[in-house]
Copies of this chain bind each other. A is one copy, B any other.
Amino acid sequence: MKTPLARYMRNRGTLIERSLLRYVRGADPTAIPFLAPAPKILARSMQYSLMAGGKRLRPVLVMAAAECCGLPGRKVLQTACALEMIHTYSLIHDDLPAMDDDDLRRGKPTNHKVFGEAVAILAGDGLLTAAFELAADNAARLRLSGADTADLVRVIAAGSGWRGMVGGQAADLEAEGLAGKRLDNGSSGKARRLLDYIHTHKTAALITASLEAGAVLARASRKQREALRAYGRAVGLAFQIADDVLDRVGDKKKLGKSGSDIANDKLTYPRLYGIEPSRRRAQALSAEALRRLKPFGKAAAPLRELAEYIVARDR
């Protein structure tokens, strides 16, 4: 695709990848003096998954949200990288044999297939921790107030943590048992509530955190933050539903993953409501997301296109 959105994502994506590489190679100045460089295998493992491509959606959202609120995207690059690190860590841990047991991710062997399970667990831990280091450093460079700095860290931690993304992953595990069964009457109601929990937490929570982080760094007003949060929730849900639909009907080669969600018989929107109703729900959410952007005018063009693209994409 050669739309303005594609150009925007490619441009921001390049900036993000350059920053990620600089950090993992250790050019970052925030190291503690007495600590020597980390073992090479750990740095290599972190770098492997971090540089394995992907849409870079979350870091682009950090930058786009900041731009919406009047701060140039390059000023929030560290926090953008932080959100990509959190996303990457969650994929590494998600792919582990004890979790989804996936061998492939984006068409390449998963982290534990290359570095072993122990290093993969530690690489995930290292990425999650590094994210907070980077975000805090970003706040300090922008001379944010104490309250805003604390807010930035809390927004990221809450969105990615046990009452956010990690909670969604735990619910996802819980749902695996349920999905194998026939879903009728009472069990179907329980399944729907569980699925809603999974969707608002597993994906939407981190997407919302990305947008809010960008807004906090740009010293956005309360109204702006609320609008971006609502946009994030709608777009995050739409994204997850679209992802599940793609997993069901998409071309496996284009997606570059092995379709384990079907193999594991997971609880998904298409499974519970059918393909067409799922598509309609994703489109309604996309429309809601667009409404939330109205107050931002032209500055929100990339976010607007993104909400449209998410429900139209084929991979």
Contacts and interface: CB of A to CB of B under 8 A. Distances in A.
Nearest to A145: B146
Interface residues of A, number: 73
B118 A132 contact: no
Interface stretch (A123-131, A247-255, A286-294, A297-305): A123-131
Contacts of A140: 146-147, 150-151, 154
B146 A132 contact: no
A99 interface: yes
A13 interface: no
Contacts of A145: 145-146
Contacts of A151: 136, 140
Interface string A153-168: 1101111111110110
Q: Which of A42, A119, A124, A149 has the most CB of B within 10 A?
A: A149
Contact of A158 (B30, B116, B122): B30
A144 to B, nearest CB: 5
Given A119-B173, A146-B145, A200-B34, A132 B130 contact: no
A214 B89 CA distance: 28
Nearest to A174: B39
A308 interface: no
A39 B171 contact: yes
A204 B2 CA distance: 52
B161 A133 contact: yes
Given A46-B162, A122-B170, A140-B146, 16 more contacts: A30-B154, A36-B200, A38-B170, A39-B174, A42-B162, A43-B162, A119-B170, A123-B162, A126-B162, A129-B166, A132-B153, A133-B157, A136-B157, A145-B146, A146-B148, A153-B153
B162 A136 contact: no
A126 B166 contact: yes
A9 interface: no
A37 to B, nearest CB: 7
